[in-house]
Amino acid sequence: MSNEAAKQNFWKWFTDHQEELETFIQAEDRDYRIYDSLTAELKKFNDLLFPEITINPEGKYVLIITPDGLMDGIEPTREIVAVAPAYDKWVIVRFRQPMDDPMLNYNGLEYPPEDIRILHELDEKEGKVHVEIYIKNMNKDEKNHQALAFLYMDHILGEFNTITKVGYIDFIHLDPNRPVDGSINLLELRKLIEDKLY
């Protein structure tokens, strides 16, 4: 199947199944089969992409196409969203967008973004910021704490910024009794990226 045909097939499938997806979003007891089908259809176009679906404060349904933090997924994300039809009830978004105060969950793990502190080094020549990310209680479940921190970066910095503007990342356990002198939070890091790297 050609690239163009794969894109058109995805949007045809989405158009034909949007009501089922709306029901899924609204349901309290969710049957994930329709979401799994949506994911499978998107991966027929590009295996790096994932769909995320939600509802926004205006009551519109939202489909986010995300490359899940991978640089190689940027161009396919742009390509498929560029040919999206217009929908009355849906907003189609490329990349996870910046938010000020999300509360996220990863594999049942939850902690607030305030549990993350950052030391940074600006590399204006490379157009990147290198970071040490301190996470409270990371030593309890290192892998999931780091995965949730990446999600917070995507949702607070914006996924495009995380992929293209954040360079070297080192994760460090944050001892709650020892403050990290000179550290900033993710919102402050976003402002720094916007002010210094654009």
pLDDT attached to residue 1: 67
pLDDT attached to residue 25: 94
Report domain extents, the chain: 3-94, 105-196
Mean pLDDT, rounded, of the chain:
95
pTM of the shown model: 0.88
**pLDDT greater than 90 at residue 87:** yes
pLDDT attached to residue 177: 86
Location of structure tokens 């995380």: 162
Contacts of 123 (CB under 8 A, 6+ apart): 129, 130, 167
Q: Which of the four pLDDT bands, split at 50, 70 and 90, describes residue 164?
A: very high
35-64 tens-digit pLDDT: 999 999 999 999 999 999 999 989 999 999
The neighbouring-strand residues paired with 54 are 62
User: Looking at residues 103-129, what average pLDDT do you find?
Assistant: 95
Q: Which of the four pLDDT bands, split at 50, 70 and 90, describes residue 2?
A: confident
Question: Residue 191 has which token pair?
Answer: 């402002």
**pLDDT greater than 90 at residue 30:** no
User: Looking at residues 58-82, what average pLDDT do you find?
Assistant: 96
Q: What is the DSSP letter of 88?
A: S
pLDDT attached to residue 137: 92
Contacts of 99 (CB under 8 A, 6+ apart): 155, 156
**pLDDT greater than 70 at residue 154:** yes
Of residues 42 and 28, which shows the higher confidence score?
Answer: 42
User: Distance between CA atoms of 61 and 85, rounded to whole angstroms?
Assistant: 14
| CA-closest candidate to residue 25, choices 48, 56, 2 | 56
165-187 tens-digit pLDDT: 999 999 999 988 888 999 999 99
